[in-house]
């Protein structure tokens, strides 16, 4: 494993996706246990994407008092059926929430009302349970959650909002061979609910996990571009406690 630092962001490069997932799970579970020594509960916001597969598979095997953890997720599609495998809630349910027993799991789709009303209700939950840790992916367009470049706002006044998804993001969600992805572009929703960047940034600790050749360009931009909304993930270089986990493929352009 190689590591370096850019701004306040620590970058850790592993030889394989599996080693990356195991390394991230080890470090993150250690931090969870450390936090639990000083507080009754820990609030964690999770990402849902194939980039998280190896990490989640390793995380559920770690010795953690999950019954003291409140779980949230950072984004969700608007307009999908509740049983759709592409729903981020269902991805996390099958890979994490059904594997270990959390204190509480808060799903965006459990909020009632219109999408904008769901946003307000979820924002209220996050205010009631301040985020200790956020575990992110990084999109091919450098988005964090569903804050694509055209809607990303480092000074967003909203905590949770409805956004329209850009074309690069929607293309990223298409993979006919992966059941949690969409078969064709026309199936991908055009809108989603997302935690905004200031909301994500409120977490005491931020961990980004982004393996794979398809993420190499995004990781290059994350590390090398000016910190600006054109490249949302560059903001990670300003978080006081942030770590980026990548594999050789996603780090290949560094």
User: Where is pLDDT greater, at 81 or 100?
Assistant: 100
DSSP 16-72: SHHHHHHHHHHHHHHHHHHHHTT-S-EEEEE--SGGGHHHHHHHTTS---GGGEEEE
The answer to whether residue 16 scores a pLDDT higher than 90 is yes
The answer to whether residue 179 scores a pLDDT higher than 90 is no
Q: Which residues contact 44 (CB under 8 A, 6 or more apart)?
A: 32, 69, 70, 71, 72, 131, 132, 133, 134, 135
Q: What is the pTM of this model?
A: 0.96
Q: What percent of the chain has pLDDT over 70?
A: 100
Q: What is the mean pLDDT of residues 15-23?
A: 99
**Is the distance from CB of 248 to CB of 15 less than 8 angstroms?**
yes
Q: What percent of the chain has pLDDT over 90?
A: 98
Domains along the sequence of the chain with CATH: 2-245 (3.40.50.1360)
């Amino acid at each position: 494993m190689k590591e370096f630092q850019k701004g306040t962001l620590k970058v850790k490069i592993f030889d394989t996706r599996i080693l990356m997932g195991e390394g991230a799970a080890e470090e993150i579970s250690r931090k969870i246990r450390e936090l639990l020594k000083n507080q009754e509960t820990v609030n964690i916001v999770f990402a849902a994407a194939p980039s998280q597969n190896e990490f989640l598979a390793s995380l559920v095997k770690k010795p953690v008092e999950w019954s003291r953890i409140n779980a949230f997720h950072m984004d969700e599609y608007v307009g999908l059926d509740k049983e759709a495998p592409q729903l981020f809630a269902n991805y996390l349910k099958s890979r994490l929430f059904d594997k270990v027993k959390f204190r509480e799991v808060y799903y965006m789709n459990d909020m009632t009302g219109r999408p904008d009303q769901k946003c307000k209700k979820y924002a209220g939950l996050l205010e009631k349970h301040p985020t200790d840790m956020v575990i992110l992916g990084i999109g091919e367009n450098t988005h964090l959650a569903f804050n694509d470049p055209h809607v990303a706002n480092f000074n967003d006044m909203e905590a949770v909002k409805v956004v329209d998804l850009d074309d690069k993001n929607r293309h990223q969600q298409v993979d006919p061979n992966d059941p949690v992805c969409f078969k064709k572009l026309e199936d991908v929703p055009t809108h989603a609910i997302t935690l905004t960047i200031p909301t994500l940034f409120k977490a005491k600790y931020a961990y980004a996990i982004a393996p794979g050749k398809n993420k190499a360009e995004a990781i290059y931009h994350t590390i090398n571009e000016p910190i600006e909304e054109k490249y949302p993930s560059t903001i990670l270089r300003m978080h006081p406690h942030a770590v980026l986990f990548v594999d050789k493929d996603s780090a290949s352009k560094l």
